[in-house]
Structure 1
Amino acid sequence: MNCITLAGTRAALAMEIHLQNGVSLSGRIYVIDTKTNPKAPSLHKVVDPADIVQKTGLAYPHTSHCLASGDLLVSCLGDKDGNAVGNGFLLLDSEFNVKGRWEKPGHSPLFGYDFWYQPRHKTMISTSWGAPAAFTKGFNPQHVSDGLYGRHLHIRFLHDPSKDTGFVGCALTSNMVRFFKTDDGSWSHEVAISVKPLKVQNWILPEMPGLITDFLISLDDRFLYFVNWLHGDVRQYNIEDPKNPKLTGQIWVGGLIQKGCPVVAEAEDGTTKQFDVPEIQGKKLRGGPQMIQLSLDGKRLYVTNSLFSTWDRQFYPDLLEKGSHMLQLDVNTEKGGLALNPNFFVDFGAEPDGPSLAHEMRYPGETD
């Protein structure tokens, strides 16, 4: 995952992954100069994983956020052996040198992944994916039972710094959970949105979860967007009343239950259905919607479809052969609604060095 520094000069890319004849994770952090020539970004610095491990014991860097001090805070998912034990937060200075660990000794989270903070409330909340030794090999339901995965994947506070509420996305259960501060100053939570699993035929399990792998909130705090990577739809909810989100837009742009695929959803009466997924510029949409980024005016929602190479191979093997793509959804910011823009299609399968798997996008002044 990446971030744009406060000065807008460089984007710090937190994790490089290569998968060849098994799994090889470099753990490098690349710092890219995006200001000198935005049309031709250049490599500014590489933070060596050996330096990170030696000074902090951390490995598998993932999410990076910029602090007001100019330092960068990076969540790490485990130790050098892929165990979740020992994960925590890496602190880099403004020149991208390793300063050490951010959290106090004995206060590391059980798992690492995403995090966000609300300084006025003196609160930071982190989320969890799982042990790298487990998820890098692909998804195995037994690993969930074995306690190798966490529960909530992404977190977003409302952008209004005075607000004491936000949402976390729970991937496997496909719930959006609202958290909030109570009158006594403690924090509580409740399920705000629940995507029911679909009963399916011709799949590895009798039921298929939506698998919420990313979500975001518009800068004006009016709309929440999330994706169901397996079902294949992108959703828009009005959250002007955070306690009562209202579905205002939904569109299918991939997934395992689209027409022409072997998997079908089964209704209670025994009838089956599949979803219509449009083609764009003569191309069939591959994979499922995975990461999203919203333009600053809230009118364009960008979508990519690659989650993680081993998981892509497991659930959407054609992505490895044909590459991923990026789409643009046009957003109705007045009444709500999503529409696929037929004039925007970035095909990473056409890269000069072969098909690529594009994961995440970032705007300066990002909307996370």
Structure 2
Amino acid sequence: MSACECFGDRSQVLSPRESMSLPREKVIYVLCLQPEENQATKAGYLATVDADPESKDYGKVIHRLYSSDPRDELHHFGWNSCVSCRHPAIKRRFLIVPGLASGNLHIVDVIDPRAPAMHKVIEGAAIRERFNIAYPHTVHCLPSGEVMISYMGDTQDKARGAFLLLDGLTFEPQGLWNKGHDDTKIMGYDYWYQPRHNIMISSEFGHPSSFMKGFNIEDAKPARDLLGHSLNFFDWHQQTLIKSIRLGNADDINAIPLEVRFLHDPAACEGFVGAALQSVVYRFFKKDGEWATEPVIKVPAKHVENWSLPVMPGLITDILISLDDKFLYFANWLHGDVRQYDISDTHHPKLVSSVFFGGLICSDTGIKVTKDEELDAQPARLVVKGHPIWAGPNMLQMSRDGRRLYVTSSLLTPWDKQFYPQMVKKGSGIVLLNCTPQGMTVDPDFYVDLASEPDGAIRGHEVRYPGGDCTSDIWI
């Protein structure tokens, strides 16, 4: 019985803890963005990386599948099926890879996990014309066998928090999942659902007219309100918005909540979201029949000189939870560290360890930290196998057994250019952190050098595994 199959019988699906004993990942997939000089002429690609330490190609890119359009901006991707799927005819075989900027949906066949092939491309222009939606983001399969994709904008680059359904067999667009509310009144980004608690929760990045140009602090002020600030709660069965909770004080800058992560245990009605600009992790939970939020982790801002602002936030980007629900990990893209927290008590997470990469507070950046509540000195830039890391950590992906955390650095092309021009010029890579209950350490024997790719200095974004991972599977 294949670990990649999607079964119709709930009793046949491994639990999150049982899934931790599945075989180690042999390959990983990463979405790659072209160097600046190639962006007008060459498309990005899905790179397959050998992750088998017994292989001669360990840590090397062994296959490249190019997308359909240089404008794609490959960003996030997901599976056509995961453990939540209850359709007996659908198996985990296809990756759905949206182009954030183009709106193209690439359906990738991974029946040969070492050499993915393009199955079909659904043109973003047709979706824009039919549904008035643009900027696709998060992909999840549904228990019905359908695929759902969150969207962040409309054809005028204004915010629109909509959700598109694809047929699970043909992948043809079927219509919008969300009903009964004006989805132009909320912003879009990530989402997670849990039918057992009749809930779906989505987060907000902002208006594409803002974030696709880079970061402007003025857009995060309530007067302009162009960047995200709320968690949105949907009745799963009715497919309707039931409430929105603004994170933080309405008079403060917008929080920009990004990745939404429920605990993997389907009986648990709680989870976490990272608010990027606030640098706060919020816990969301159900109490007395109502959904609520509370801040549980705060990354103090650093007072700096020789930077565009006098105060630098950590900018929490990706977060994830280990399959046993014991540890929370997140990345501070600007400060430059990955953090590990013990969440045995979800009300009071405890910091276990942190590892610094190539963030803006590294001692060689020319930025001077004048006030720091956490560190006594600015950290050194991380170097792995002779390769300096030119940016802070952005995307994370954890092995099912909870022992390996793969880390990439690219966020979004306009933001990369703005904050980490050295990474855009010199490329990025994939770093591996070895994780234990006592802390994280950099694996000295693993580094995927994306700076030496055939097209030049590539940047890597999201990572996935053929058999599923900590952020693509939803247990119900």
TM-score bucket of the superposed structures, by smaller chain: over 0.9
2:267 to 162, 169, 173: 162
Aligned-pair Cα RMSD in Å: 1.5
The corresponding residue for 2:24 is none
Partners of 2:148 and 2:308 lie apart in 1 by 39
Query: Paired residue for 1:66?
Result: 141
Q: Which residue of 1 aligns with 2:167?
A: 93
Q: Who is 1:21 aligned against? A: none
Secondary structure of 1:189's partner?
strand
Q: What is the letter of the counterpart of residue 304 of structure 1?
A: T
Structure 1 ranges of 4+ moved more than 4 A: none
Pick from 444, 453, 458: which aligns with 1:356?
A: 458
**1:268, CA displacement in angstroms?**
6.8
Q: Secondary structure at the match of 2:127?
A: helix
Give 5+ residue unaligned stretches, structure 2: 1-75, 82-90, 230-256, 472-476
- Out of 295, 301, 304, which is 1:191 matched to? 295
Residue number in structure 1 paired with 2:99: 15
Percent identity of equivalent pairs: 45
C-alpha contact 1:58 1:87 (8 A) present in aligned 2? no
Equivalent residue number for residue 149 of structure 1:
227
Query: 2:468 maps to what in 1?
Result: 365
- 2:73 is aligned to none
Residues 1:300 and 1:272: Cα distance change in structure 2 (over 3 Å) = closer
Q: Counterpart of 2:353?
A: 249
Whole-Å separation in 2 of the counterparts to 1:154 and 1:88? 16
Partner of 1:344: 446
Structure 2 residue identity aligned to 1:293: Q
* More contact order relative to length (CA 8 Å, sep ≥ 6): 2
SS of 1:50's partner is: helix
- The Cα shift of 1:116 comes to 0.3
Cα deviation, 1:285-318, whole Å, max 9, x if unaligned, reads 1111000000000000000000001100000001
Partner of 1:54: 129
Aligned length: 354
Deviation at 1:272, TM superposition (A): 7.7
What pairs up with 1:82-161 in 2 under 5 angstroms?
Answer: 82-84=157-159, 86-94=160-168, 95-108=170-183, 110-145=186-221, 146-151=224-229, 152-161=257-266
> For 2:441, what is the secondary structure of its paired residue?
strand
Structure 2: distance between partners of 1:297 and 1:70: 27
Q: Distance in 1 between matches of 2:275 and 2:196?
A: 26
1:345, distance to aligned residue in structure 2 (A): 0.7
Contact 2:395 2:408 (C-alpha < 8 Å) held by counterparts: yes
Alignment-mate amino acid for residue 198 of structure 1: K
SS of 2:463's equivalent in the other structure is coil
Amino acid at match of 1:343: D
CA separation in 1, counterparts of 2:382 and 2:274?
27
- Aligned mates of 2:372, 2:173 — CA distance in 1: 56
Equivalent residues of 1:79, 1:87 under 8 A apart: no
Q: Does 1:40 align with 2:119?
A: no
Gaps of 5+ in 1: 17-24
Instruction: Tell me the residue number matched to 2:426.
Output: 322
Q: CA deviation at 1:114?
A: 0.1
C-alpha displacement at 1:107, in angstroms?
A: 4.6
Return the letter of the residue paired with 2:163. Answer: F
CA distance in 2, matches of 1:130, 1:336: 37
Contact 2:302 2:372 in 1 (8 A): no
